[in-house]
Amino acid sequence: MAVQQNLAQLSNTLVYSAMLVYTGALGAFVTDLARRGASASSRSVAPARPPALVGSGAAGGDTSDPAEGEPEAPASRASRAANIAVSLTWLAFGLHATAVLIRGLSVQRAPWGNMFEFASSGSVVVTAVYLAVLTRRDVRYLGAFVIGPVLLTLGLAVTVLYTEAAQLVPALRSVWLLIHVSVAFVASALFTLGFSTTVLQLIQERRETARAAGRTPSRGRFMDALPGAAALERTSYGLHIAAFPLWGFTLIAGAIWAEAAWGRYWNWDPKEVWTFVIWVVYAAYLHARATRGWDGRRAAYLALFGYACLLANFLLVNFFAVGLHTYAK
Amino acid sequence: MATDLSDGASTDGAFTDDASTDDASTVREPIVQPRLGPGGWARWAWRQLTSMRTALLLLFLLAVAAVPGSLLPQNRQDPGRVSDYLDAHPTIGPWLDRIGAFDVYTSVWFSAIYLLLFVSLVGCVVPRAGQHWRAMRSAPPRTPRRLDRLPAHTERALPAEADRAPDALLDAALVVLRRRRYRVVDNRREDARPGAAPDASLSAERGYLGETANLVFHLALLGVLAALAWGSVASWSGQAIVVEQQTFANTVVAYDSFSSGRLVTTGTLPPFTLKLTAFRVEFEAGDRAGQMGAPREFEATMSVVDTPGAAPRTVVVRPNHPLDVDGTRAFLVGNGYAPSVTITDGNGQVAYRGPVVTRPQDGNYTSLFVVKAPNAEPRQIALVGVFLPTYELQDGVPVSLFPQPLEPRLMVNVFLAAPGVDGLGFTTGRPQSVMRLESSRMSMVTAADGQPLRVLLEPGASATLPDGAGTVRFDGLARYAALDIRHDPSKGWALATALLALAGVTASLFVRRRRVWVRVVPGEAGPTVVQVGGLARGEDAHLQADVDAVALAVLGPGLTPGRGDTRDPKGHG
């Protein structure tokens, strides 16, 4: 089983091309946000959208569809920049996905056997999940907060994490690499989108609180064009409850693999510990949300904490903790 | 702890029709604390423990408490690194040891957190299971008097030309609700509700599975914990090193280390034997950055006899592909070189002959070893050395360039005891490490220049020790496989309960519980009015869709119910 180095070269070229197009998409998304902000604040001079309405939702006895009742209307009036951004994102996704595919062909295995491949494949799943959500809901306002992290991850991958194309070490040669890691990708991608939405939700909430107190938020005018905090919170919750069972599956699939590889399905290896910690933190988030007297904001902080743990698991644990997963360096 | 994850609504298992039960809206009056007796305090403590806030705190603590075990070395994984850490940190190390920081996952505080969490879980789940059981057996509640106060509501008057009998309208609604998997109670029937007068309406409810799944999830977590606990008392494991062409028989004495749970009878291990017939190892030979010498294949071919007298079968064991003998599994967890050495003593007798297990120190298998020949006469002999599979001298320092044995060399320092003295301490009966030499009573042989004598041997070569102490010969080379052999009867249960928990949490997050009521008010002077109301637990994007679908079906396809607030404004008076 020889490694096709010329294919690996082609894959690298495609990764760089994808990064270039992602940069364009990011620029377009940011331009769109800026334009929306400008138009939203000119509109907000007129009492078009009293902030008090935000989040009144279904509880107020309103019989309209809650998904439409929220002020998502400005988002659908997105500028041409948003359309360009989405097109560029599709193009970048095509390049990126092809790069990952060719990398897999060049080494004739699943392309996530080291940190570089993991980062590259993981970020393509983030884009894929974002585009999938985009076909169902208008979440173009999220674009910059998704493409930004993807671009950052790719930058890290081609510089710090880069690893030559090669066969796998025997410890990784298992069907569970395919199952365990690919599900972890999808879960992480959903958590990433959930994280971005949660950050926006908290910013929006701050602005709404300021408005309710009669102050005008000074910065981040583009936020006026985004859905209200309550709608963002619902989107974030929807993403998190999709990710949570997938993360549970990752945990179980990892344990099955551990049993096949080391004989113990659970041995408190640092990677196992962190996967478990992430699961517990997100479980706490879901419980917090169901707890009376805890508002969406406090639960949101737990979601952010969960994402911090996810990043720590990927970046810190691989480099600093000694365990059975250290071949992933 | 086990409150329905899917919503932020009431936690008491029942729907609440308005927001007045919310904590925040209750008027706070000065509270006069009642005096609590011991029973009262116990009840108070129990209620605190089983409250959601406590569960949340415990979950958070569990996450935080698990972290140190991933940062500090742990005894269960690598006791050697723990003692290294203790040596390197003489001040803080013993303190960390005292609080169990090197055995986090068996420490008192970690156990306390998860046990309290599970007690809290039981305290929450059991009453909820009872409540849910009653809810499942009881009919959906009677139709509220005013459907227009419900979160989802639609109300239509039938045009005169399309007027139908109230019964026909309700029958149509019944079909739609059943098709949407609602449990429907037909309030028109005399026997629908004992003691209540018949009423031209339907009560429907769906999504019981969500709460069931939520309870299953939490109970399955208890199952996972039970499986882990059972595994710790009913499993055994041992580590053994098998050199090529050697045979290992599965008995406790054959293991280098062995541990077992309290319920294991170590006298009755499965009596299989295995012989390592060949061990193939491949490494990356291409000269690519960072990959040269990376392992590519470990393949241990074994001849296994499952039970005494059975025909041997050939099994190839690789990483991720263990040997399985009726549920007992042998995992290939390590490998290395076992050079064969012969030591002849000063009297010309063979004092040691056989393979020596070496410990690889790096990716190029620079390997350390110790050989002790306590029976050598007149002076005991010990060798402390390095095995280098691909030897090269770089700036005067011997190194190994590649993990395969391309230029294998043994490089040893020789230690001798005084004549007739048991310098190796074998007669003391104290247990000794085969990997360490206690050298205080042995003297290192020096060369003519006063430097320690360093003997370099290639395969087949021998060296004569000074002062007629004997000779050392490097006979040949073999590989060894380090095996981890385990039996854990709990793992099937752990997997089953974990999958059950996963299924439970998935269903509980996605199945929504909602109620729908349909009422037909026959027009006495005007048209017939159909009212549909819906109530969901938590927010529910599909509630309005269900209400609309029922209304649509009742009114017929020609009369799509319009959206919009149809409430009577006077209703708020």
Q: Backbone dihedral region of B481: left (phi > 0), alpha (psi from -120 to 50 degrees) or beta?
A: beta
Contact in structure between B477 and B426 (CB atoms under 8 Å): no
**Chain-centre distance of CA A88, in angstroms?**
18
For B223-278, what is each residue's pLDDT tens digit? 999 999 999 899 999 999 999 999 999 999 999 889 888 888 877 889 999 999 99
Residue of B nearest to A274 (CA): B67
Q: A63 falls in which pLDDT band (50, 70, 90)? A: very low
Look at residue B11 and tell me whether its pLDDT is greater than 70.
no
> Which of B23, B66, B566 has its CB closest to that of A276?
B66
Predicted pLDDT at B337 = 95
Alpha-carbon gap: A3 to the closest alpha carbon of chain B (Å): 10
Alpha-carbon gap: A179 to the closest alpha carbon of chain B (Å): 14
Arithmetic mean of pLDDT, B430-447 = 78
Q: B423 falls in which pLDDT band (50, 70, 90)? A: confident
CB contacts, 8 Å: B76 with chain A: 267-268
CB contacts, 8 Å: A250 with chain B: none
3-state DSSP call for residue B8? coil
> Which of B55, B67, B153 has its CB closest to that of A277?
B67
How far, in Å, CA of A194 to CA of A233, rounded?
9
Chain A interface mutation, best of B15, B62, B70, highest count of A Cβ atoms under 10 Å:
B70
- The DSSP symbol for B140 reads P
Contact A61 B149 (CB under 8 A): yes
Cα distance between the two ends of chain B: 40
* Residue A193 and residue A159 share a domain: no
Arithmetic mean of pLDDT, A32-37 = 79
Q: Please indicate whether residue B472 or residue B423 has the higher confidence score (pLDDT).
A: B472
CB contacts, 8 Å: B506 with chain A: 245
* Residue A138 and residue A225 share a domain: no
CA angle A319, A320, A322 (to 5 degrees): 100
Write down the mean pLDDT value for chain A: 81
DSSP codes of every residue in A314-325: HHHHHHHS-STT
* Residue A199 and residue A114 share a domain: no
Chain A interface mutation, best of B211, B292, B320, highest count of A Cβ atoms under 10 Å:
B320
Residue A91 lies in a domain: yes
* Residue A255 and residue A316 share a domain: yes
Tokens describing residue A145: 């907060």
How far, in Å, CA of B283 to CA of B403, rounded?
7
CB contacts, 8 Å: B320 with chain A: 170-171, 173-174, 176, 257, 260-261
Q: How far is CA B109 from CA B50, B53, B71, B72, B570, in A?
A: 19, 20, 17, 16, 60
Neighbours of B435 (CB within 10 A): 11
* Residue A153 and residue A15 share a domain: yes
> Which of B237, B298, B505 has its CB closest to that of A170?
B298
Contact A260 B297 (CB under 8 A): no
| Dihedrals phi, psi of B146, to nearest 5 degrees | -120, 100
3-state DSSP call for residue B200? coil
* Most confident stretch, A31-40, A284-293, B247-256, B434-443: B247-256
Look at residue A231 and tell me whether its pLDDT is greater than 80.
yes
* Residue A148 and residue A96 share a domain: yes
Look at residue B133 and tell me whether its pLDDT is greater than 50.
yes
How far, in Å, CA of B181 to CA of A92, rounded?
44
Residue A108 lies in a domain: yes
Tokens describing residue A140: 């173009």
Q: A42 falls in which pLDDT band (50, 70, 90)? A: low
Residue type, B109: W
Helices (H), B193-275: 208-234
* Residue A235 and residue A96 share a domain: no
How far, in Å, CA of B355 to CA of B381, rounded?
16
Predicted pLDDT at A175 = 83
Q: Is B392 exposed, middle or buried (0-12, 13-18, 19+ CB in 10 A)?
A: middle
Chain A interface mutation, best of B56, B328, B566, highest count of A Cβ atoms under 10 Å:
B56
CB contacts, 8 Å: A258 with chain B: none
CB contacts, 8 Å: A262 with chain B: 331, 333, 484
Q: A176 falls in which pLDDT band (50, 70, 90)? A: confident
Enclosing domain of residue A260? 187-329
Contact A283 B296 (CB under 8 A): no
Look at residue B135 and tell me whether its pLDDT is greater than 70.
yes
Residue A53 lies in a domain: no
* Residue A162 and residue A191 share a domain: no
Percent of chain B at pLDDT exceeding 70: 88
Residue of A nearest to B292 (CA): A166
Contact A171 B8 (CB under 8 A): no
How far, in Å, CA of B234 to CA of B261, rounded?
5
Look at residue B69 and tell me whether its pLDDT is greater than 50.
yes
Q: Beta partners for B386?
A: B368, B411
Chain B interface mutation, best of A115, A177, A252, A292, highest count of B Cβ atoms under 10 Å:
A292
Q: B161 falls in which pLDDT band (50, 70, 90)? A: low
Look at residue A290 and tell me whether its pLDDT is greater than 60.
yes
Which range is least confidently modeled, A156-170, A179-193, B224-238, B344-358? A156-170
Contact B66 A280 (CB under 8 A): yes
> Which of A67, A170, A309 has its CB closest to that of B318?
A170
Predicted pLDDT at B112 = 92
Write down the mean pLDDT value for chain B: 83
For B508-529, what is each residue's pLDDT tens digit? 988 888 999 999 887 766 778 8
Residue A241 lies in a domain: yes
What are the strands, taking DSSP E only, across B458-501? 462-464, 470-487
Arithmetic mean of pLDDT, A196-204 = 91
Neighbours of B393 (CB within 10 A): 9
Contact in structure between B338 and B368 (CB atoms under 8 Å): no
Residue that terminates a domain, selected from A133, A168, A203: A168
Predicted pLDDT at B434 = 73
Contact A286 B5 (CB under 8 A): yes
Which range is least confidently modeled, A6-10, A42-46, A245-249? A42-46
Look at residue B25 and tell me whether its pLDDT is greater than 50.
no
Tokens describing residue A269: 């290896």
Predicted pLDDT at A254 = 92
Tokens describing residue B481: 């496989």
Predicted pLDDT at B564 = 40
CA atoms within 13 A on the CB side of B513: 24
Look at residue B58 and tell me whether its pLDDT is greater than 70.
yes
Which range is least confidently modeled, A217-231, B203-217, B227-241, B410-424? A217-231
Q: Please indicate whether residue A294 or residue B316 has the higher confidence score (pLDDT).
A: B316
For A66-120, what is each residue's pLDDT tens digit? 343 344 444 444 578 889 999 999 999 999 999 999 999 888 888 887 888 888 9
Contact A280 B564 (CB under 8 A): no
Question: Minimal CA–CA distance to B70: which of A280, A272, A262?
Answer: A272
Look at residue B536 and tell me whether its pLDDT is greater than 80.
yes
* Residue A251 and residue A204 share a domain: yes
Contact A265 B62 (CB under 8 A): no
Q: B21 falls in which pLDDT band (50, 70, 90)? A: very low
Q: Please indicate whether residue B287 or residue B277 has the higher confidence score (pLDDT).
A: B277
Residue A193 lies in a domain: yes
Question: Minimal CA–CA distance to A252: which of A281, A285, A279?
Answer: A279
Q: Please indicate whether residue B154 or residue B559 has the higher confidence score (pLDDT).
A: B154
Predicted pLDDT at B460 = 93
> Which of B52, B56, B69 has its CB closest to that of A268?
B69
For A309-324, what is each residue's pLDDT tens digit? 999 888 777 776 665 5
* Residue A222 and residue A191 share a domain: yes
How far, in Å, CA of B151 to CA of A60, rounded?
7
Predicted pLDDT at B239 = 92
Chain B interface mutation, best of A175, A287, A304, A329, highest count of B Cβ atoms under 10 Å:
A287
> Which of B71, B319, B502 has its CB closest to that of A245?
B502
* Residue A279 and residue A221 share a domain: yes
CB contacts, 8 Å: A58 with chain B: 151-152, 539, 543
Look at residue B550 and tell me whether its pLDDT is greater than 90.
no
> Which of A66, A248, A288 has its CB closest to that of B56?
A288
Residue A62 lies in a domain: no
Domains in chain B, start-ordered, CATH in brackets? 19-25+37-137 (no CATH), 147-207+512-562 (3.30.310), 236-487 (no CATH)
Neighbours of B48 (CB within 10 A): 11
Contact in structure between B138 and B519 (CB atoms under 8 Å): no
Residue of A nearest to B566 (CA): A63
Contact B539 A57 (CB under 8 A): yes
Neighbours of A64 (CB within 10 A): 14
Residue of B nearest to A278 (CA): B63
> Which of A171, A176, A248 has its CB closest to that of B505?
A248
Question: Minimal CA–CA distance to A25: which of A92, A122, A124, A78?
Answer: A92
How far, in Å, CA of A293 to CA of B549, rounded?
34
Residue that terminates a domain, selected from A168, A203, A224: A168
* Residue A141 and residue A26 share a domain: yes
Residue A61 lies in a domain: no
Contact A261 B486 (CB under 8 A): no
Q: B2 falls in which pLDDT band (50, 70, 90)? A: very low
How far, in Å, CA of B419 to CA of B108, rounded?
53
Q: Beta partners for B344?
A: B350, B471
Contact A283 B329 (CB under 8 A): no
Residue A230 lies in a domain: yes
Q: Please indicate whether residue B276 or residue B15 has the higher confidence score (pLDDT).
A: B276
Residue of A nearest to B52 (CA): A291
Which range is least confidently modeled, A243-257, B162-176, B393-407? B162-176
* Most confident stretch, A273-282, B31-40, B97-106, B370-379: A273-282
Alpha-carbon gap: A282 to the closest alpha carbon of chain B (Å): 10
Domain count, chain A: 2
Q: A39 falls in which pLDDT band (50, 70, 90)? A: low
CA angle B117, B118, B120 (to 5 degrees): 65
Residue that terminates a domain, selected from A106, A135, A168: A168
Tokens describing residue A173: 């040669």
Q: B436 falls in which pLDDT band (50, 70, 90)? A: confident
Predicted pLDDT at A66 = 39
